[in-house]
Structure 1
Amino acid sequence: MDEQLLEIKEFDGIGYLPLIDFGTWRVAFLRYIDELIPRNINRVERHVETDEVFVLLAGKAILFMGTGDESLEELVPIVMEPCKLYNVRQNAWHCCVLSHDATILLVENRNTGLANTDYCALDDDQKQVLISAAFREQPGEWD
């Protein structure tokens, strides 16, 4: 098929990879990576210029949403269900825990990056919420 009519992309590696950029938007895959092991997650992020859509395609994932404006007040685990769209609103604190076999489709602004993303460190209680939820919802995954 002529690539001017149809572009086909795939990714079976680890981590995050933008696959298709067009105009102002981007489609990417997020797959398991060691930085997303519950014990390794030390911060949440928020995008100050855009929403970000998450779709669980395979495996298990927990989307952690944070309340608070300038700093993180509470961390709430949302167990993702396959093929549902989770639209993380602009300026919403968030992070994800993925099982080893998970794949998440992401849709975001093409220019989403360090220049328009804020980070907030997790305190010990918030880390414990994250770790406890991951072990509860993904038993055996992190032993």
Structure 2
Amino acid sequence: MNSHLLEVSGFDAAGYAPVVDFQTWRVAMLNYIDELEPDQIDNFQCHQETDEVFVLLSGKCILFCAQVDDNNNILAINSWDMESNKTYNIKRGVYHTHTLSEDAKVLIVENRDTDDNNSPKIMIDDAIRSKLLKITAEKWL
């Protein structure tokens, strides 16, 4: 194949991996990983400099967005059971996390420089984790 014409990438391991980086943007894949089971999630993260787009390719994924106060206390959690082949744009500054089924594949588009330096986290406690478990059970059972 002529690599100057086309680059083909994939990612089938557990977790997250960038598959294309170009100038200011990145395409990544997110696959099932144990740490995103609702009883294992330990934080919500936000990106201070960019929106982030998610597209469910296969399996199931629930996006969770936290409404927070000025002290980053979680006041409420909104959730979306993603539909395949639709774009979900998490706006800049919104705290979010997700849970995936074991067969899930999610495509992610974000700024290339998105990393822990511009993406603060809110650590969650058992009460919030219980809410995530309840939401997941209601949506998937």
| TM-score tier (shorter) | over 0.9
The runs of 5 or more residues in structure 1 that have no matched partner are: none
Distance in 2 between the 1:79 and 1:56 partners?
A: 10
After TM superposition, list the pairs within 5 Å mapping 1:1-40 onto structure 2: 1-40=1-40
1:113–1:69 CA distance, 2 compared to 1 (3 A): farther
- Farther off after superposition, 128-137 or 9-18: 128-137
Alignment of 1:108-119 (within 5 A): 108-119=110-121
Find runs of 4+ consecutive structure 1 residues off by over 4 angstroms. Answer: none
Q: Please show how residues 39-54 of structure 1 align to structure 2 within 5 Å.
A: 39-54=39-54
What is aligned with 2:84? Answer: 82
How many residues were matched structurally? Answer: 139
1:131 match: secondary structure: helix
Partner of 1:58: 58
CA RMSD of aligned residues (A): 1.1
- Residues 36, 112 of structure 1: CA spacing in aligned structure 2 closer, same or farther, 3 A cutoff? same
Alignment partner of 2:136: what SS? helix
When the two structures are superposed, what TM-score results if normalisation uses the length of structure 2? 0.94
State the match for 2:129 in structure 1. 127
Percentage of matched positions with identical amino acids: 43
2:64 counterpart SS class: strand
Bigger Cα displacement from structure 2, 68-77 vs 27-36: 68-77
